[in-house]
Amino acid sequence: MVNFPAMGSYLSQRAFQPLVENDHKNRSNNDGNNSLDDLDRQNDIAQFPYVEFTGRDSVTCPTCQGTGRIPNGQVNELVALIPYSDHRLQPQRTKLYVVISVIMCLFASSLVAFFLFPRSILVEDDGTKVVVVRFDKNHTKVFISMTSTLNVSNSNFFTVYVDSVTSQVLFMKTIIGTQQLNRIMAIQPLTQKQVNFTVDMEIGSSLSFVYTFCTMPTVKVHNIVVFMQTSVKTSYMVRTTQNSLESYRYIDCGSNSTARSGYPVPFVAQ
């Protein structure tokens, strides 16, 4: 026996089927619209940069392009990794800076060497200026005070000190007078000064014939020749130098004499 559905139920199923299909279509359309809305929201959110709102207890992360922050307490503990292609790792005019630094160092060292390099001290004998003669008739002796001048030139860029001047006078290989002066003067850079010193000489004993010659009235010019050795010691910075001079002097032992009348005496060391 074959059972056939009732006419009413069959019609009701045929009538309900379009409603079900429409409901499924509406749901699928709503789901699609929701997914599109979600994508739009994500795209909109992606367009906004990351911003972190923090307090005063943090600083901007130097490797996050300003989009992150780290606590102040960890500034000296964290290590930042910089990509190899970062422009901060690329040399910027390094060769130029090195060349300029080398040139400046060479220039500075050259200036220091030029100004501080020690130059020699020039000492020149300027001759005899004043001669004073005295006679001792009882002991047949001749006393002569001879004042001489030295020119000391400082060609350095710093002060030079004349520490001592030592002079010795000989007549016929016999020492007749000596003089030594200490702590004389300071010579400023690139200047010249004169040092005047006096040597007291005594000629007698085995050289008593000099007294006879110097007091002989028939001789108009009583010249004798003495040999003078002079040593000048100078110091500057941490260096000490010594200049030695030797010269022969002609002295008129018959009377007092002055080499240059009115000659200015800038410095006399006694």
5 phi, psi to nearest 5 deg: -65, 160
What whole-number percentage of the chain has pLDDT above 90?
47
Do the Cβ atoms of 229 and 246 come closer than 8 Å?
yes
Residue 162 domain-assigned (yes or no)? yes
Q: Are 57 and 159 members of one domain?
A: no
Q: Is the pLDDT of residue 123 over 80?
A: yes
Residues 72 and 198 in one domain: no
Residue 72 has pLDDT above 50, yes or no: yes
- 3-state class (DSSP) for residue 63: coil
Q: List, for residues 225-257, the tens digit of each pLDDT value.
A: 999 999 999 999 888 999 999 999 999 998 877
Residue 58 to residue 35: CA distance in whole angstroms: 39
DSSP states of 208-228: THHHHHHT-TT-S--EEEEEE
Within its chain, how far is the Cα of 138 from the centroid?
A: 68
pTM of the model: 0.60
**Within a domain: residue 72?**
yes
Beta strands in 110-211 (DSSP E): 122-136, 141-154, 160-171, 174-187, 191-203
Which residues form the domain of 70? 35-83
- As for how many domains the chain has, the answer is 2
Residues 76 and 133 in one domain: no
Same domain, yes or no, for 75 and 202? no
Lowest-pLDDT choice from 25-39, 97-111, 182-196, 205-219: 25-39
